[in-house]
Structure 1
Amino acid sequence: MPTYVNPDKCDGCKALDKPACAYICPNDLMILDLAQGKAWNQEPDQCWECYACVKTCPQSAIAMRGYSDVMPLGASLTPLRGTDSIMWTVQFRDKRVKRFKFPIRTTGWGTIEPYDGMREPDAAELKDSHLAGEDVWLGVDTLPVPEGIVLEGKSENRDPAGSLAADGRTN
């Protein structure tokens, strides 16, 4: 079910240039009502239910209704975001409460080097069936090739182990 904003809790993220929910929503559904100074979901039927807005709201003003087969009527699911984790609180219909704590990403944005340890690409490799870095990421020199695979218009000959060398040639 789509998210909704509790107008009594929402302050429109006055300290920011736009509400946190509007910034994080991947479908650009959350917007600021300038007259009221509150955020709202402009197209609930288009909501992807990713709950990014729910997790990022500093006022805990955004909530969601769970589907009845997952969350029966009267139950609730509420996130509370800290500086290093998100605590999800589940309240069941019989008032039992369970809490689950998950760490937030600890690697800074832009600090991961995805091509670290890989050699510079070669234009001739564009015609190869292998992916860049495949041998590095998978930790193998060769990959098995199923029978009947045709590369560049000719059938590949396989060795008894059924693998190709990293450069696409048979072993």
Structure 2
Amino acid sequence: MAIKIDKSICDGCPDYQEGRCERICPGNLIAKEGEKAEMKRPAECWDCAACVKACPRNAISLYLPEEIGGQGTELKVQQNQKRSLWIFDKEDGSRKVYKTG
């Protein structure tokens, strides 16, 4: 598994020298490439989802293994001050949303 960064959404956190995802990644696996974030070593990703939660643009998703959500399923998060919405987009086009907080 590894993360996926949607380059069409990522703005590289222009108010910071490093992107939020780059600063929070415990494995130092994300870096800015030009003005966008990029996963440098996907095979080393720990799947902690810290970057998924940290991205202010919701540009990062995490691929989930077959045991959890089926091949091709992506986990995304949308946050506000009171709660997080964890969104599972499945390969077949279906979606499940879980609220936390």
TM-score scaled to structure 2, two decimals? 0.85
| Alpha-carbon shift at residue 101 of structure 1 (Å) | 1.5
Unpaired runs of 5+ residues, structure 2, are none
In the superposition, the TM-score normalised over structure 1's length comes to 0.53
Q: Give secondary structure in 2 for the equivalent of 1:80.
A: strand
2:10 counterpart of 1:19: no
Cross-structure match for 2:77:
79
The one-letter amino acid of 1:46's match is E
CA distance in structure 2 between the partners assigned to 1:20 and 1:54 by the alignment: 10
Give the Cα separation in 1 of the matches to 2:6 and 2:49: 15
| Contact 1:56–1:81 under 8 Å retained in 2 | no
1:6-85 paired onto structure 2 within 5 Å: 6-33=6-33, 36-85=34-83
Q: Which residues of structure 1 form unaligned runs of 5+?
A: 104-171
**In 2, Cα distance between equivalents of 1:76 and 1:15:** 28
- Residue 74 (structure 1) shift: 4.8
Which of 1 and 2 has higher RCO (CA within 8 Å, sep 6+)? 2
Distance 1:37 1:90, change over 3 A: same
Structure having the higher strand fraction is 2
- Between the aligned partners of 1:56 and 1:41, the Cα distance in structure 2 is 15
Structure 1 runs of 4+ with >3 Å offset: 73-76, 91-97
